[in-house]
Amino acid sequence: MKKMIRVKFSSYFSFLFLIAVVSVAFCPLNLHAESNKKIRIGVSAPMKFVVGQHIAKGPKMAADEINAAGGVVINGEQYDYEVIVADDNCFLSVTDAVSAIERLITVNKVNFVLGGYSSQGTLAQQEVMADNKIIYLATGGLHPELNRRVAKNYDRYKYWFRLYVCSEPQAFFYFSHAGAVVAKIKSELGVEKPKVALLMDKAVWNEPIAQLAKKLFPLMGCEVIGEWRPSVQATNLTAEYSAIKSAGAHIIFQASAGPVGSIYGKQWGELKIPACLIGINVEAGKTSHWEGTRGMCNYEQTAGTPRCNITEKTIPFWDKFVERYKEGPMYTANINYDALFYLKDAIEKAGTLDSDTLIPILEKTDYAGTVGRTVFTPLDHERPHDLMIGPDSTYQPGAQWRDGKLLPVWPDGREIHPAVIAAGFPSGWDKVKIAGAVEYQIPPWVKKYWKEKK
């Protein structure tokens, strides 16, 4: 009896050994991938919202592509990217935003941090970054103070790089898009001095944009008639839109990065507000915005990333993203996708993951990616480590929803309004035209309303 038991146990363990040998024989690639060392990328993002989800989707896609192509090579040894995501809840809680980045650094032991979105949250997260001397490649946090801190105290804040330009220069894109709309209202509606209403999320990043709008629109031959600032969590804008209509606005200049952005386009279309809705609405950059507003966003214009050839990499990235995630990418996906590629270049040049060694190399970044050419502002700039913008670097296209499609309308091969150039925005846009760009169209009900008013 004992002999039989020994035989059975011996056969059982022999069988397990055989399975293990076969598994190794048929899965060498997986075992090799697991044996590679890791570069941990922490992603801090508001994951309950689409902008946050895309902050995570971009680097996940890039990490898979880079790992499959041989990873990041440091002194002849392959490292694979590992993306670790933390929901920072930054729209609703600064405390949660701080806790998220602290957890990534101290618990998950990440080597780098990507993401961040609300300025309130990232201003607080920036202190955690500085205390831990960890490089933070930031998605949002558009308030200019974030990069001014780099100028004021370089040794403490040098770890901060912004992947997309701050609110002050970024706003120039919105006014560049607005130039064609102002011209159309003057020519097609016969309005000598269009009236502009400012409809902006009540958020810190919008303060510089509001001030710039009040300065630039009058220089563009318009009158700013009022400012409305709903909460980023607002669910009804009927009161704001009624007041804007009563004030006689021809243009509504929107600036929204929060979830209320879906309400901007939806109620504007439902109420048939007789004013062109233009500016920046991050929610309107989603391919699902049409369905989410039930088509009420028709003719809404926004800065965004429509499927267009900003560079030769943009459309291939867009199509791969759609194939993988079944939706088009928002700009938060593009910039974080690109970031892992030029971070790889910097790490391989440095031969180390040490932040202080990498910073001088990242400062020299010159990378043609999906959003244009990424070059950071120099150390003598008022906002070091910000993103350079212009026709030969990075720009944000203007797009308009038309019958279910988000179509590019800018750059259109024409120079921007002289007032925008005089305010400090680079010229040369007459040399840039996106293939497939169409002319902005005034919504039909807006035309009808103002023609009947005469």
Residue 67 has pLDDT above 60, yes or no: yes
Most confident of 135-139, 166-170, 424-428: 135-139
For the four alpha carbons of 182, 187, 191 and 192, in that order, the dihedral sign comes to positive
Average model confidence (pLDDT) across the chain: 90
Domains: count for the chain = 2
Instruction: Judge whether 230 and 201 are in contact, CB under 8 Å.
Output: yes
The secondary element (H helix, E strand) that includes residue 414 is none
Q: Counting beta carbons within 10 angstroms of the beta carbon of residue 3, is it exposed (0 to 12), middle (13 to 18) or buried (19 or more)?
A: exposed
**Confidence at 81, pLDDT banded by 50, 70, 90:** very high
pLDDT tens for 195-228 read 999 999 998 888 889 999 999 999 999 999 999 9
Residues 176 and 159 occupy one common structural domain: no
Residues 277 and 342 occupy one common structural domain: no
Residues 230 and 120 occupy one common structural domain: no
The secondary element (H helix, E strand) that includes residue 228 is strand 223-228
Residue 5 has pLDDT above 50, yes or no: no
Which domain covers residue 437, as residue numbers?
168-306+396-453
Residue 30 has pLDDT above 70, yes or no: no
Residues 215 and 345 occupy one common structural domain: no
Residue 149 has pLDDT above 80, yes or no: yes
Residues 158 and 172 occupy one common structural domain: no
Strands 72-74 and 77-87, bridge-based pairing: antiparallel
Over range 28-50, report the average pLDDT: 77
- Could you say which of 375, 405, 429 is where a domain stops? 375
pLDDT value, residue 170: 76
Over range 165-175, report the average pLDDT: 79
116 phi-psi bin (left φ>0, alpha ψ -120 to 50, beta other): left
Over range 313-322, report the average pLDDT: 96
Over range 125-139, report the average pLDDT: 97
Residues 368 and 227 occupy one common structural domain: no
Residue 128 is assigned to a structural domain of this protein: yes
Residues β-bridged to residue 321 = none
Instruction: Judge whether 122 and 151 are in contact, CB under 8 Å.
Output: no
**Confidence at 13, pLDDT banded by 50, 70, 90:** very low
Residues 103 and 251 occupy one common structural domain: no
pLDDT value, residue 164: 84
